[in-house]
Amino acid sequence: MVLNRNTLVESARQESPEWDIIVIGGGATGLGTALDSVTRGYRTLLLEQSDFAKGTSSRSTKLVHGGVRYLRQGNISLVREALKERGLLIQNAPHLVRRQAFIIPGYKWWEKPFYSLGMKIYDRMAGKLGFGASGTLDTHQALKEIPSLNPENLRGGVCYFDGQFDDSRLAIDLMKSIHDHGGIAINYLKVTGFLKENGLIRGVTALDQISGESRQFRCKAVVNATGVFTDSVRELDDRESRAMIRASQGVHIVLDRSFMPGDNALMIPKTDDGRVLFAIPWHNRLIVGTTDTLVDSIDLEPRALAEELEYLLSHTGRYLASRPEPDDVKSVFTGLRPLVRSDDDKSTKKISRDHTILIDQSGLVTVTGGKWTTYRKMAEDTVDTAAEVGELPPRPSVTRDLKIHGSHETPVDSGESIDENPYYLYGSDAPKVRQIEQEQPGWDKPIHPSLEIRPAEIIWAVRYELACCIEDVLSRRTRALLLDAKASVEIAAKTATLIAEERKFSVEWIDQQVSDFKKIAANYRIDSYM
């Protein structure tokens, strides 16, 4: 379906004078909530202030997992729920989620038996939706699985299976699913206030970040799904509302695969300062992360701290044969976790597990916390609450077995991957992207030797995926900015030119875009931290 943003804004205003549910925030939580809502038959509108997944949802470790950390904390019900969601997600979006083998190396005598037992429990808890049985490895086998593992004092290890995915591609396919089912999701529309009747919320005002126009949308219930921005949106409703979120920053570095050749991922459950460290193959690169640093400022483009980068570089060097130097870092990306502080007296705390749902006196429903893996369950709980608040006819959630846009019947272990087929992640849309290749000579060729990005994908992103600027294309429709920040700057002008030709934009637009993109890309370049 062609998605034209201007047409969507007009339809949102004219076609439905009153929506059932308006969702604020186009990250995992908001997109999941809007999809759950529209597939129950509620008229649903989602508004995102920037681009879909611009916040935390494009900056995750890319794991679909039960959370080995929660298992260690004894939070059994949470792990069981996440493992169930992991199993459902690989069934509903097989083009984006794949099974990944992880190796936990043992350097102390107790680590192998301890983690082996833990992973057996993890396997059991996944039940029928399991990804494969874990097992132990002797030293020779561990080095065979990860040849670049530091062999000093190595006493074998444990192998287990979890899920890996492309976070922002899943967000884009959730957005397309919302449209497939008759809802509307629009980017670059920032909610700036609420419309109220007798103290109860009956709609929102929003500022179009592209045209500068202000809009109003009326509805029966509003969901605040704005992650680390939760408090600023609650303040639009009640200036006195007590802050409920604390942000914790997580940084990743991206390296060449040569630092850890092979298909396996490395998992260190507890580094010397008690953190979990992952090194995971992703799009033919290696992602290493993450950190956990409380921060006071909340920004759409958070920046890593020098000590976080040093921690990642030195710990990679500790567990792998060679220590990466700053020059080896292809990209740095940073995300903010919304951590829930404590109960707000003025509100009703409905559900408190991994995620929290609050209803304010105005009827504003806020959902926060959780993780990407559990977005569907969070959405189900949220829509149950919003339907009650908006006095909508009760209808059950249908997302448990709902195929997400792009889903196709590829068996989970078919072996096909992004490395073998550059359009693999487009799933059932891949043939349509290939068709665009035919429109112009050269549209089937990568535009940079280090990046698998072709003009056909850029055009596809603009025509069918609501990409509005270079960054939308290079950061979230394709992952160029996260895979190689320097190379992505080198293709910025070419990308802007293709977008401008497609949308009939001016040369001035191209120049402005390239300059804006370079500023954002600086956050992903390690040289900007030196």
Which residues of the chain form contacts with ligand FAD (CB under 6 A)? 24-30, 47-50, 54-57, 59-63, 190-191, 225-229, 233, 250, 290, 335-337, 370-373
Nearer to ligand FAD, 50 or 92 (CB): 50
Residue 454 or 477: which CB sits closer to ligand FAD?
Answer: 477
Q: How far is the CB of 308 from ligand FAD (least distance, A)?
A: 11
Closest separation in Å from C-beta 99 to ligand FAD: 15
> Which residues partner with 352 through β-bridges?
356
Give least dist CB 137 to ligand FAD, A. 24
Q: Cβ 49 to ligand FAD, closest distance in Å?
A: 4
- 284 CB neighbour count, 10 Å cutoff: 14
Q: Please give the angle made by the CA atoms of 347, 351 and 353, to the nearest 5 degrees.
A: 125
What's the angle, vertex CA 400, arms to CA 170 and CA 23, rounded to 5? Answer: 60
- Work out how close the CB of 167 gets to ligand FAD at its nearest, in angstroms, rounded to a whole number: 7
Dig out the tokens for 383 from the structure: 């829509």
Closer residue to ligand FAD, CB minimum distance, 63 or 253: 63
Query: What's the 3-state SS for 385-452?
Result: HHHHHCCCCCCCCCHHHCCCCCCCCCCCCCCCCCCCCCCHHHHHHHHHHHHHHCCCCCCCCCCECCEC
Nearest distance in Å: CB 237, ligand FAD = 11
**Identity of the residue numbered 155:** R
Distance CA 437, CA 456 (A): 5
Nearest CB to ligand FAD, comparing residues 53 and 499: 53
Alpha carbon distance 513, 497 (integer Å) = 10
Nearer to ligand FAD, 32 or 106 (CB): 32
Q: Name the minimum Å distance from CB 252 to ligand FAD.
A: 7
Task: Of 338, 327, 394, give the one whose Cα is nearest residue 366.
Answer: 338
Residue 26 or 363: which CB sits closer to ligand FAD?
26
Rounded to whole angstroms, how far apart are CA atoms 379 and 118?
30
Amino acid at 403: K
44-47 and 19-24: which strand pairing?
parallel
28 or 468, CB closer to ligand FAD? 28
Tell me the closest approach of the beta carbon of residue 82 to ligand FAD, in angstroms.
Answer: 8
**For ligand FAD, the closer CB: 62 or 454:** 62
Cβ 29 to ligand FAD shortest distance, Å: 4
Burial 192-206 (b: 16+ CB within 10 A, else e): eebeeeeeebbbbeb
Q: How far apart are CA 92 and CA 425, in angstroms?
A: 14
Backbone angles phi, psi at 140, to 5 degrees: -60, -45
Residue pair 424/433 in contact (Cβ under 8 Å)? The answer is: no
| Distance in Å, CB of 378 to ligand FAD, minimum | 8
- Rounded to whole angstroms, the Cα distance separating 256 from 286 reads 6
Residue 39 or 60: the one with the smaller Cβ distance to ligand FAD is 60
Nearer to ligand FAD, 57 or 316 (CB): 57
Q: How many other CB atoms sit within 10 Å of the CB of residue 305?
A: 16
Sign of CA pseudo-dihedral 435, 439, 445, 448: negative
Residue at 161: amino acid letter: F
